[in-house]
Amino acid sequence: MPSNKSVSDAPIVQFTNCRILRDHQLQREDLWVREGKILNPEKLFFDEKGSADVQLDCKDSIIAPGFIDVQINGGFGVDFSLATDDFKSGIDLVSQKILSHGVTSFCPTLVTSPPSVYHQVLPQISVRNGGAHGAGILGAHLEGPFISKEKKGAHPEHCLRTFEAGAFQDLLATYGSLDCVRIVTLAPEMSRSSEVIRELTKRGICVSLGHSVANLSQAEEAVQHGATFITHLFNAMLPFHHRDPGIVGLLTSDKIPAGRRVFYGMISDGIHTNPAALRIAHRAHPKGLVLVTDAIAGMGLAPGRHTLGQQVVEIDGLNTYIAGTKTLSGSVATMDTCVRHFQEATGCSVETALEAASLHPAQLLGIEHKKGTLNYDSDADFLMLDDNLHVQATYIAGKEVWRRDAPGM
């Protein structure tokens, strides 16, 4: 059947012999793509009388939405919390390298830093689409410095700040600008945090609770003011206690406003969270689980000494510690590794594991109409994976940007 180009002259690509993750199920269908978007084949056949210009045999691969990493501090020797003259080339390198791990969009994350670092780095981060140059940038995730001293984790104590003086104005002065900011992690027990949460939410910025000693009622109050995320659940917060479960209690709280969902990040690297804790969280609140790498500059590098913002960290296998201590400091796990470990640890379905790294982070950021699904008219950012969830190829806007067997890969 000849192709009808009355709607668009762009070529139509048909991916055949594949299982597509759509509507929470792997479905044996073809995937149709034109101009970077996923097409509805029925409209194509019946309205346009069109057909494919190119057919690609996927050899029974799984096709899943591209992964979205909302907490990544760097990788491959690049530290997003270091103000350098070639910061742009660093972020470009990371965005290129994470394509092989199935990440098609990410939020570069800065840990607690002096104001001068935010003022220098944030203007160099710009929201952009992904492509052959690398994964898309959704905006920055600022983790700190408005966090608890008791639960600072790997964050430098001398850089921590409070809202005592000017609340939101203090935050603006610290960061310099919120233009490219997508997520802010803060401790909700801090004085005047409620007004800060309201102001950030009003600007469309996702507020995440973390590095905190908040009790459950403080956490619930933060959610009622607009917070929607928990930064790396279980890590850098009070441990679960049956009389006051703290932030962890949000997973089963009955005080969440109607129609609102609380999401929570999990570092599923086998180090930060015991598999039993991963299972508890997943069974308590499966639809809120968002896989994050929390990767640091040492991801993709040999063991040894690397940086995390103002601190020196030591990598020993999959463990990363603040040098000279046993304080965990980020991860060196890749997103595809986290997805596989999550599936193995929880025994969940392939679909569930894939959606924790794609659909859920997209829902958290309110971009599920464009990313995180393979619904018609959404962005054609997707992966081909084998049955063991190893990434075989990565596509952004319908174009192949990485392939396992490609020369030089």
In tens, the pLDDT along 89-110 reads 999 999 999 999 999 999 999 9
Instruction: Please say if the pLDDT value at position 3 is more than 50.
Output: no
CA distances to 39, 50, 51 from 42, in Å: 9, 10, 11
CA-to-CA distance for 282 and 395, rounded, in angstroms? 29
Rounded percentage of the chain residues whose pLDDT exceeds 70: 97
Both tokens of 99, joined, read 């394509």
Binding site, annotated residues for Zn(2+): 143, 211, 232
Both tokens of 254, joined, read 């009955």
Provide the 8-state DSSP code for 237: B
Both tokens of 279, joined, read 């299972």
pLDDT tens column, 193-245: 999 999 999 999 999 999 999 999 999 999 999 999 999 999 999 999 999 99
Q: Do the domains 66-365 and 13-64+373-403 match in fold?
A: no
Residue 406's pLDDT band, with cuts at 50, 70 and 90, is: low
List the single range of 137-141, 162-166, 313-317, 387-391 with lowest mean pLDDT. Answer: 162-166
**Residues recognised as catalytic:** 294
Instruction: Provide the mean pLDDT of the chain.
Output: 95
CA-to-CA distance for 19 and 21, rounded, in angstroms? 7
pLDDT tens column, 285-303: 999 999 999 999 999 999 9
Residue 47's pLDDT band, with cuts at 50, 70 and 90, is: confident
Helix axes 275-284, 335-346, angle to 10 degrees: 80
- Cα radius of gyration (the chain): 21
Residue 5's pLDDT band, with cuts at 50, 70 and 90, is: very low
Residue 157's pLDDT band, with cuts at 50, 70 and 90, is: very high
pLDDT at 2: 46
Binding site, annotated residues: 143, 154, 211, 232, 235-236, 243, 272, 328-330
The neighbouring-strand residues paired with 194 are none
Cβ–Cβ under 8 Å, residues 382 and 371 = no
pLDDT at 44: 83
Nearest residue to 213 via CA among 262, 276, 150, 161: 150
CA-to-CA distance for 245 and 252, rounded, in angstroms? 10
Rounded percentage of the chain residues whose pLDDT exceeds 90: 90
Instruction: Please say if the pLDDT value at position 150 is more than 50.
Output: yes
Q: Work out whether the CA dihedral 241, 244, 248, 251 comes out positive or negative.
A: positive
Going from N- to C-terminal start, the domains of the chain cover 13-64+373-403, 66-365
The neighbouring-strand residues paired with 357 are none
Cβ–Cβ under 8 Å, residues 105 and 68 = yes
Contacts of 182 (CB under 8 A, 6+ apart): 70, 107, 138, 139, 140, 141, 205, 206, 365
Binding site, annotated residues for substrate: 154, 235-236, 243, 272, 328-330
Phi and psi at 392, nearest 5°, equal -100, -35
Residue 164's pLDDT band, with cuts at 50, 70 and 90, is: confident
Fold classification of 66-365 (topology level):
TIM Barrel (3.20.20)
3-state secondary structure of 148: coil
Residue with tokens 């109050």: 221
CA-to-CA distance for 342 and 19, rounded, in angstroms? 21
pLDDT at 146: 98
Q: Which amino acid is at 312?
A: V
Fold classification of 13-64+373-403 (topology level):
Urease, subunit C; domain 1 (2.30.40)
Residue 318's pLDDT band, with cuts at 50, 70 and 90, is: confident
Residue with tokens 């990493």: 69
Q: pTM for this structure?
A: 0.96
